[in-house]
Amino acid sequence: MGVSAIAPAAAPPSAPLTIHSAGDVLSEMYCLLDTLLTAATPEEPYSLALRRVLQAAHASEAHGFPLALLPLLTCQAAGGDPLAALPAAAAWRALHIGLKLLDDVEDGDVARLNDDANPAQVINLSTGFLTAAQLALTRLPAATCTALQPDLLHTVLRMAAGQHRDLCRADQISLSNHWAVIEAKSGVFFALAASSGATCATLDVNEIARFQALGHHLGVLIQILDDWVDTHQTGGLSDLATGQPSLLVCYALTVASPSERERLQALLSCAPLDVEAERTARRLMAQLGCEAYIHGELTRYRRRILSIFGDNPALSPTVQPLYDWFLALDSTLSSRAMAVV
């Protein structure tokens, strides 16, 4: 990717926002979302249900990794006050939650995760979050809102296209198709997070494009590590056990000899009901070089991300927190990936 390095931005008036000082800001963002979700129907059980989902999402960020900081940190790195991007971060997080709910329904995960859950209710809750995402943008200055609305809606359409491709490919697993799905679903989504934050700070389209590229590569990196984890989960939770295609499966089926492919396909078809078949499939995939392939692709995307930060080891005080956030994210996800094998 021919993207030049992120330029040092002017220092904001107060101390920079960092991953360590972001707790209150994130709480403020979740408060804004709570207001947007419940203002129209404060007494309705629907609002209570939306609030429960929101609280679970907040808790997962508080105890996991604060992904919703990305728009705030890119705004800061582009020279803006990170708080100016709070509505953009809320919009992105609402979209994240709403699409995740839909994804769970489409993948058949709702009943698997919770016996009492009702897919129709989950779809209805998703409607609330997708609407709140658009409402959040109206809290931005008019010009920024006008600039970001089409970006958000186009992102939803691109992700839906990626999901459609994913849902329609049951018998057509291919490596190039899987990469297209990863880019459309995860790359495009994180590109929106990074570019929407930058848009709150600058009108410079080249600068915004740099952050968009950074977000895209981050999204792909996250998905590669997710695919690794999902392939190696145990207890009937792996992609092999649930019959979902993953990058590792697509790689293995692409490079295997005809006889190996036939054997792997037979194992994969038994894996949902046969733990030994799942284990053997995983072993065969490892023998075909999955580990080396994943290593190569992770290296590619890490290098792309680092090249956007530039070669200068001394980043400006406004860019450094974004860099530190990336290192912490990579470390967190990598530790998770190593823990499953």
Partner 1 sequence: MNTELAHIIHRAATSPQFHARLVNDYTAMLAEHKLQLSQEDTQVLKDVLAYISGHPAADQPTHTHTSARPGWDGGPSFTAAAI
**Where do contacts with partner 1 occur on this chain (CB under 8 A)?**
175-176, 179, 225, 228, 251, 254-257, 260, 282-284, 286-300, 303, 334, 337-338, 341
Select 34 or 278, whichever has its Cβ closest to partner 1: 278
Select 95 or 337, whichever has its Cβ closest to partner 1: 337
DSSP letter for each residue of 258-322: HHHHHHHHHHHHHTTT-HHHHHHHHHHHHHTTHHHHHHHHHHHHHHHHHHHH-S-SS--TTTHHH
Joined tokens for residue 293: 């392939």
Q: Measured from the CB of residue 291, what is the shortest distance to partner 1 in angstroms?
A: 5
In angstroms, the Cα distances linking 266 to 153, 166, 175, 236 are 41, 21, 19, 18
Q: Measured from the CB of residue 1, what is the shortest distance to partner 1 in angstroms?
A: 8
Q: Measured from the CB of residue 126, what is the shortest distance to partner 1 in angstroms?
A: 31
In angstroms, the Cα distances linking 146 to 75, 82, 128, 153, 297 are 17, 19, 21, 12, 37
Select 289 or 317, whichever has its Cβ closest to partner 1: 289
Q: Measured from the CB of residue 256, what is the shortest distance to partner 1 in angstroms?
A: 8
Select 27 or 287, whichever has its Cβ closest to partner 1: 287
Q: Measured from the CB of residue 180, what is the shortest distance to partner 1 in angstroms?
A: 9
Nearest to 29 by CA among 54, 53, 63: 54
Select 242 or 254, whichever has its Cβ closest to partner 1: 254
**Can you tell me the distance from the alpha carbon of 56 to that of 47, in angstroms, rounded to the nearest whole number?**
14
